[in-house]
Structure 1
């Protein structure tokens, strides 16, 4: 049986838009500056402001090359950059108008220590709040920032713009702090992106236009509507949720054959065959061992595709000649892996969108999306679910078999509720048993992302907040007593480890180390970042579920 998953709608998506800037996205100027390594972080250069327009900047660059016999050194390159670019704050420090230091959730927390910690978390929101300056809106061609009119919450650290999937957990935290106006503005920013580009890019920079991220916009909207019942906003904007999902259906599908049956499912794929501008030097270094241009192009596409997954980088995308992970980042093959989490995110979005259409009385569109979600759920069970192990696995589309490896992404269908809910307790019980058999419940600092110590940041020993949340809430929602008991223990461990780290450092981090209670994570291509938007959002969810007398 073949499932053809295409949709037709009056609003048609724009093609995936690649950044065409010859300064910040591709070309000899970018190559020269980034390979001179005048900044320790490649992102620093592509976040600068051009002093002149692009045409003048490129003319100055050609003159610079000629003056230096086409081979400028690091000092000369640094001088060129200082004469043509400058650091400039694109954002205002903006206090959201609906921010309050004492949201109602604080009065429902029964534990004094947790209440004090939550009070500190609330105070972080204004520190992460940003709004694009008016002069940037007027002269946006000089910047890489994609200008939006409404304020937003950034992750923190080097991540000074807003990001796609980070924002889902940020939104959940903001809603629990009753910051409904801020959330509506954030959603309006995302709708603007869909209107302009036909999809939501990885983040709000032009150099992110070569890829998206896990599709959680519909879920954000569903949470906002549940909290506010803002049917007017939904009625005005629901067609853009349709449009965004259409982008994935049109641009991210491939076919899978299992037991003679052909299925259409989604994978992460970017056709941007050059280094990521914000990690240019790092990508060129990874490619340095490859013998020819063709292999490097394939590598760059895989690196961009992995960045689209949000898991940049992980052994999850690295494949050796036997289908295992005994290789390095030069052996990344993202698009051959059919990821269980992406397909669960999409299935969840289809079902949520069907319910949102039903709220508006549009039963035709509701039925369309509910049917699509139903079909996709069956495909997820058929392709990804491993009955013997009681868990879902990614599918290796070259080897034609599941990757029976431990990753927390294996639990995303449980969290998303995209399985036969009549068997919720049984499925939850088996998923809890899988955690036990994998031996991951005894780590002091949470659940490891994987059991592979690759040195990449989305691997052991790092623990990431959104993955903890998806496992915990997936187990909890299954209603199986064993699964719920494990979920509560994991929630308590995670919260107290985060709390300990905050007391020691006065910071919240993007990731933590499972080996050591109360310590931040490490590894990957940049140092661990503090802030941190999704960390805080996840904690609000866990505190609301496990530490309040009034469950909301």
Structure 2
């Protein structure tokens, strides 16, 4: 090697070494500083989000760990940058492909990879703090109620009291009466759920919660969440939800409104059979033993909860919601019943506080007020809490929605007995075949057609068995027969026509027609009524339309709903809430209770349970052309012209 070449190699080596030394001493990118600078520039209203309401320049330059400079522009991309910074670890690099990801792909990806896990809970040593420590818990005592007969769980959690200073484990009595439930309303707590037990170790069976202040397992929410879980490859969680349903039926007598102490007397709309059927269809390899265990609980719930004469089974042969209980429902916001209670205070010639105290203590009896609260609890059991459609009348109604769901129970049970158990299934020494359940379904269909079908209008209506008349109010629940598959082709054609005429709005289906009391400026805006739309209604109607071959109509409703979710997420920092105003296509809903899922910093941790599921179902059904339009946020009214 000549002298000049040696010299060049030495110089090159020194340059490389010096460069490495500079790189080693180079100050690392501080993403916290980048986030602070981004917020300072773009979050002009100080809510720790970047939305269309912020007045910043909507343009931000930053240097990544690789030393590359990038310019991010526009509300959507800037809010994505904020979200990515919020979940970033210092050693990671901002991925521009995530910042500039197409909206529908980003939303769907986050639901699948992030939100479901953040919504998952378990009741065991590992999960107790997350389950018990929420806004509904007493700050000084975190109560966990254990079923009377579950000695394993009681022993396990009782031993944990020493490790959790605020934990109070309470064994429920053998018989749970409405008066007992009332007696613990001022001592609220979580009800235990299913678990596995091995080598003296208890491991809670996981469950998915709706999100926000709803930090417990809800009845019908759990089914709709499971639809999304199955789509996203989380059959493990859907199966776990079913096992928790079975535990509730076995130990509490019913699938609960939610696993809180004050819900012990109340169930929710029945969807357990749909869950079992969909788990089976999703995975035919699931064991017959597992399906058998769950199906026995489905039948037990059907017979012991829904077919109780004069409770939820009425003299018409059809069913109603009936929220058992005593006194004032305790879970409402303060002041919720003030208008009602004030009327009865005046009736009894007492000041408001004195009347409420004496009514709660049962020193004052008022049959009319008792009946009002029976209707109110029944409305809450229906899941539609609250709606002018059901207020002060719910317990008198054979509802289309409930009876459609029970028709589906009967046909689902028949399907599973025939396809899984060779048409021979035994429960408590009683043998069933598919024909037995199909005959029940046929009888229910006849009764629904006789009492609920309105030939003149071409719609099913709730039937008031007290006044012996149809309650002719437009509601999405009137169209559940499409989902349950109980209507004829002619009825389906009429239902589809009326559904689009009466309930379809720009952003999806409204829960009801406009049934508000416009004459009373103080009348509350009920959250399940017009102009609000809800995920379960959309999901059921999409499937109902597809059941009867209305593909184009289904695609339109899917697009309108997904567009509403996507546009709000794009404009408002990824927000995915509990419900939407489908007329104004906004998550800014000012009805009672506000809108869960809108309060967060930087990035929503979990969206909202059944809203997530509706998005995943919609994405799985929408065609490619509309998916492309969705990512461009094309206005639905420009696509679906009359």
1:305 aligns with 378
Match of 1:118?
Answer: 108
Deviations 1:470-519 (A, max 9, x none): 2222122211xxx4322211110110110111123322111100221243
The alignment covers a number of residue pairs equal to 409
Considering only CA atoms, is the larger Rg found in Structure 1 or Structure 2?
2
Counterpart in the other structure of 1:407:
475
Gaps of 5+ in 1: 1-110, 257-263, 319-331
Higher relative contact order (CA closer than 8 Å, sequence separation 6+): 1
* Equivalent-residue separation in structure 2 for 1:399 and 1:377 (angstroms): 21
Distance 1:121 1:372 in 2: 39
Aligned mates of 2:565, 2:595 — CA distance in 1 = 15
- Establish whether residue 267 from structure 1 lines up as the match of residue 334 from structure 2: no
Q: 1:297 to 1:281 in 2, by over 3 A?
A: farther
Q: Cα offset for 1:541?
A: 1.2
Q: 2:168 matched to 1:144?
A: no
CA contact (8 A) 1:465 1:535 kept: yes
Residue 449 of structure 1 pairs with residue 506 of structure 2: no
Query: By how many angstroms is 1:284 displaced?
Result: 4.4
Are 1:214 and 2:281 matched, yes or no?
no
Q: Following superposition of structure 1 onto structure 2, how do residues 297-446 of structure 1 map, counting pairs within 5 Å?
A: 297-318=370-391, 332-358=392-418, 359-363=420-424, 364-420=432-488, 423=489, 426-438=490-502, 440-441=503-504, 443-446=505-508
Q: 1:547 to 1:520 in 2, by over 3 A?
A: farther
Aligned to 2:15: none
CA offsets per residue over residues 142-168 of structure 1, 9 Å max, x none?
Answer: 861111221111001111101000111
Provide the alpha-carbon RMSD of the alignment: 2.1
Q: 1:156 aligns with which of 177, 189, 211?
A: 211
Aligned to 2:545: 475
Structure 2 match to 1:538: 614
- Give the corresponding residue for 2:28: none
| Aligned equivalents of 1:348, 1:512: Cα separation in 2 | 28
- In structure 2, the partner of 1:288 is 342
Separation of aligned partners in 2, 1:367 and 1:154? 37
User: Would the aligned equivalents of 2:384 and 2:528 in 1 still touch at CA under 8 Å?
Assistant: yes
Give distance in 2, aligned partners of 1:284 and 1:388: 38
1:282 Cα offset (Å): 4.1
Within 5 Å, give how 1:26-65 maps onto structure 2: none
1:243-258 matches, cutoff 5 A = 243-246=300-303, 247-250=305-308, 251-256=311-316
Q: Decide whether the 8 Å contact of 1:355 with 1:366 is kept in 2.
A: yes
Contact 2:103 2:570 (C-alpha < 8 Å) held by counterparts: no
Distance 1:119 1:547, change over 3 A: farther
Counterpart contact for 2:246–2:297, Cα < 8 Å: yes
Mapping for residues 502-513 of structure 1, pairs under 5 Å? 502-505=569-572, 506-513=574-581
SS in structure 1 of the partner of residue 510 of structure 2: coil
* Alpha-carbon contact 1:273-1:298 (below 8 Å) kept: no
**C-alpha distance in 2 between matches for 1:435 and 1:242:** 32
- Cα distance in 2 between the residues matched to 1:478 and 1:510: 29
TM-score, length-scaled by structure 1 = 0.70
Match of 1:171 in 2: 226
CA distance in 2, matches of 1:143, 1:405: 36
Moved more, 443-452 or 239-248: 443-452
Point out the more displaced range, 230-239 or 264-273. 230-239
CA contact (8 A) 1:170 1:533 kept: yes
Q: Which has the larger helix fraction?
A: 1
Shift of the alpha carbon at 1:280?
A: 7.0
User: Given that residues 145 and 205 in structure 1 are in contact (C-alpha distance below 8 angstroms), is that contact kept between their aligned partners in structure 2?
Assistant: yes
Query: 2:562 corresponds to which residue?
Result: 495
Q: Does 1:196 align with 2:196?
A: no
In structure 2, how many angstroms separate the alpha carbons of the residues matched to 1:548 and 1:362?
A: 41
Q: Tell me the residue number matched to 1:104.
A: none
